[in-house]
Amino acid sequence: MNDKQWKILLDVVAGKPVQPLPIGFIIDSPWLPGWAGISTLDYYTSDELWLKTNLKAIQTFPDVLFLPGFWSEYGMCTEPSAFGAGCTWHEHELPYAEKIIRQIDDIDNISVPDPHKHGLTPFVINRLKLNRKAIEKEGHKIRFAVARGPLNIATFLMGTTEFLMAMKTDPEKIHKLLNIITEFTTQWLRLQKETFDTIDGIFVLDDIVGFCGEPDFKEFAQPYLKTIFSSFNASIRFFHNDADDRVCSPHLADTGINLFNFSFEHSLKEMKEWTGGKVALVGNIPPRDVLAQGTPRQIEQSIQEQMQQLDDTNRILFSCGGGVPQGVSTENINTFIKAIRKYK
């Protein structure tokens, strides 16, 4: 993200009017390799191809804010690998982290990893170090410290069903696990900030929050997320959850979040109401069925449906309800841009 784009994002979060209407997308390894014509494995293992692919995106769509921008990541494996999770790799598919907690008492054997040296986290940092000059030469900067959320990491370590059940059967053990994960995550975010002085944003992704009822959200999610989002003083505190958001949305501002990417199942109008207008929004057309698989006319209609419900466009970064999925074409992104440009 360049300085002009960062200023636009700050204005969106502050509720200032922005013209033309701002557009942004979360992009990472589900979309970038296939769009650029390389394998997923090449994207992960070649610094040269990783940089070339990200540069191609910003050069092809210069008016789009890509979030977090030059994301150094290894799919869902980055944080679980630091805890010792084995990772399964494929040439054209996303990697998968294997469980390390087979029974609830295994949590007693979990300790806080060191992001300086454990798992894939040092590779994430080093890739950005090696490419920082090239990124800045293009007028862009590393803006965000990024991490998966505590519930998301926990489910990779022990399984989604097992984790959700244990919230009811063994809450003390789950709190112990979440405390360990939260300590690691805050260290991980601070390491990124300490390494790159251009970072002024925190980006956390946790879809498992959408599986919680309100009592469980308040007990098992909100306090840990609040701690993570206060890891350092960041101007942008960006949260992604593209599962059900009806429970968490009224509590986002109190959790320290000021920018939110949410499920396409909810409209921008609904989310404005649920958040009380206190949180800037990133959305919101269906990512797979419309942005990836839809015709230009379907994209235009989906945008029109969202716009017709809005009283104003403040605090909105127009996007899709989630990250850009596999198969989204250049044509469809350009259609999205043109459709948004018709509105003021």
> Would you say residue 179 lies in a domain?
yes
> Would you say residue 146 lies in a domain?
yes
The full 3-state SS of 4-45, as one line of letters, equals HHHHHHHHHHHCCCCCCCCEEEECCCCCHHHHHCCCHHHHHH
For the packed helices 150-158 and 171-195, what is the interaxial angle rounded to 10 degrees?
120
* 253 Cβ neighbours under 8 A, 6+ residues apart: 275, 276, 278, 279
> Would you say residue 172 lies in a domain?
yes
Q: Where are the alpha helices (DSSP H) in 71-139?
A: 78-82, 121-137
Strand 87-88, strand 259-262: pairing: unpaired
pLDDT of residue 43: 98
Predicted confidence band at 262 (pLDDT cuts at 50, 70, 90)? very high
The distance of Cα 57 from the centroid of its chain, to the nearest Å, equals 17
Please count the structural domains in the chain: 1
pLDDT of residue 344: 82
Mean pLDDT value of segment 303-326: 96
pLDDT of residue 33: 98
> Would you say residue 313 lies in a domain?
no
Compute the distance between CA of residue 230 and CA of residue 218 in angstroms, rounded to an integer: 17
Compute the distance between CA of residue 341 and CA of residue 344 in angstroms, rounded to an integer: 7
Mean pLDDT value of segment 328-333: 98
Q: What is the dihedral of CA 182, 184, 189, 193, to 10 degrees?
A: 140
- The answer to whether the CB of 313 falls within 8 A of the CB of 301 is no
- For 59-72, the pLDDT digits (tens) are 999 999 999 999 99
Neighbours of 262 (CB within 10 A): 31
> Would you say residue 34 lies in a domain?
yes
- For 33-43, the pLDDT digits (tens) are 999 999 999 99
Compute the distance between CA of residue 242 and CA of residue 149 in angstroms, rounded to an integer: 13
pLDDT of residue 324: 98
> Would you say residue 257 lies in a domain?
yes
Q: How far is CA 9 from CA 35, 138, 166, 300, in A?
A: 25, 19, 39, 24
Compute the distance between CA of residue 189 and CA of residue 186 in angstroms, rounded to an integer: 5
pLDDT of residue 130: 98
DSSP per position, 263-282: -TTS-HHHHHHHTTT-SEEE
Q: Residue 252 maps to which CATH number?
A: 3.20.20.210
> Would you say residue 137 lies in a domain?
yes
The pTM assigned to this predicted structure is 0.97
Host domain of residue 247: 30-59+69-274
- For 141-179, the pLDDT digits (tens) are 999 999 999 999 999 999 999 999 999 999 999 999 999
> Would you say residue 1 lies in a domain?
no
Q: What percent of the chain has pLDDT over 90?
A: 100
Neighbours of 137 (CB within 10 A): 9
